[in-house]
Amino acid sequence: MPGTRNPEGRMPLREHLLELRKRLFLASCGLVVGGVAGWFLYDPLLAVLRHPLDLAASTQGKQISLNFTALGSPLDMQIKVALFLAAIITAPWWLYQLWAFVTPGLTRRERLYAYSFVGAAVPLFIAGLALAWWVLPHAVDMLTAFIPQGTSGLFTAQEYLSFVMRLLLAFGLSFVLPVLLVALNFAGLLRHETLAKGWRWAVLVGFVFAAVMTPTPDAWTMILVALPICLLYFAAVGVATLHDRRADRRRVAAAS
């Protein structure tokens, strides 16, 4: 049956693919349910997402507005915004499916790990969204400042809202990544030594990500964005180290 393991603790390729299909189906069902809620909340959500643009228009005294340039754009945009909200409100569900796929055939202890994983991942995902929402008005204000006086900034709704949604999801997922690394470590797929050796690359990626996602001219904003990402990575290394040491001691005790 799907989710079973062979004596070496590994799943055959066919059952691994069946498990992947199962988890994708369950995650998709959750997104569909969340998408229905997002469809009916489209108007207030659109107003919230548009707020940084309206704020830039009021502070700079310029005409800055969103435009739908194609006949099907409003419908397409409503579907995208609904799915965006679905990805946020169903985060506990699809994050659990992610963990369940990484560790199929969950034992009782692994199920406790799964709940802990979701319990840690969801607040971090929300924290990443909050940080992105703090960065967004600064980024929008800086970018729209290049609009010459006497002209109007007319942005297509597709481009602007896609930019906002990518920014929010990128920050949210970047905050969840360290928890995923811990999950892989608890599943026995990643040792803490590997994580520790890659700390330089992790710091570099964190600062590059912050530089790309915060197109503001000051370095402090980039540092404030990069620091939480780097600290979460080092926290993941610490948790993985403690787990591996306990697992090694149990292994030695069982062998003796």
Tokens encoding 200: 């330089």
pLDDT at 214 over 80: no
Instruction: List the chain domain ranges.
Output: 13-255
pLDDT tens, 240-251? Answer: 898 888 888 888
Say how far apart CA 224 and CA 246 lie, in whole Å.
Answer: 34
pLDDT tens, 103-153? Answer: 665 566 666 766 777 788 888 888 988 988 888 888 888 888 888 887 788
Among residues 105, 111, 108, which one has the least CA distance to residue 1?
105
Q: Which residue has the higher pLDDT, 65 or 231?
A: 231
Please, which residues bridge with residue 152 across strands? 63
Give the pLDDT mean for 192-219: 82
pLDDT reported for residue 193: 87
Global pTM? Answer: 0.73
HEC string of 119-149? HHHHHHHHHHHHHHHHHHHHHHHHHHCCCCC
pLDDT tens, 78-100? Answer: 888 888 888 888 888 887 787 77
Give the HSE-up count for residue 147: Cα atoms under 13 Å, Cβ half-sphere.
Answer: 21
Among residues 119, 117, 141, 121, which one has the least CA distance to residue 129?
121
Contact 169, 81 (CB under 8 A): no
Give the pLDDT mean for 48-70: 84
Among residues 174, 156, 177, which one has the least CA distance to residue 80?
156
Contact 167, 128 (CB under 8 A): no
Angle at 167 between CA 166 and CA 168, to 5 degrees: 95
pLDDT at 8 over 60: no
pLDDT reported for residue 176: 86
For 107, list phi and psi in degrees, rounded to 5: -80, 175
pLDDT at 206 over 80: yes
pLDDT reported for residue 226: 85
Residues in the chain: 256
pLDDT at 10 over 70: no
pLDDT at 156 over 80: yes
Strands (E), the chain: 63-67, 152-156
pLDDT at 43 over 80: yes
**Percentage with pLDDT > 70 across the chain:** 88
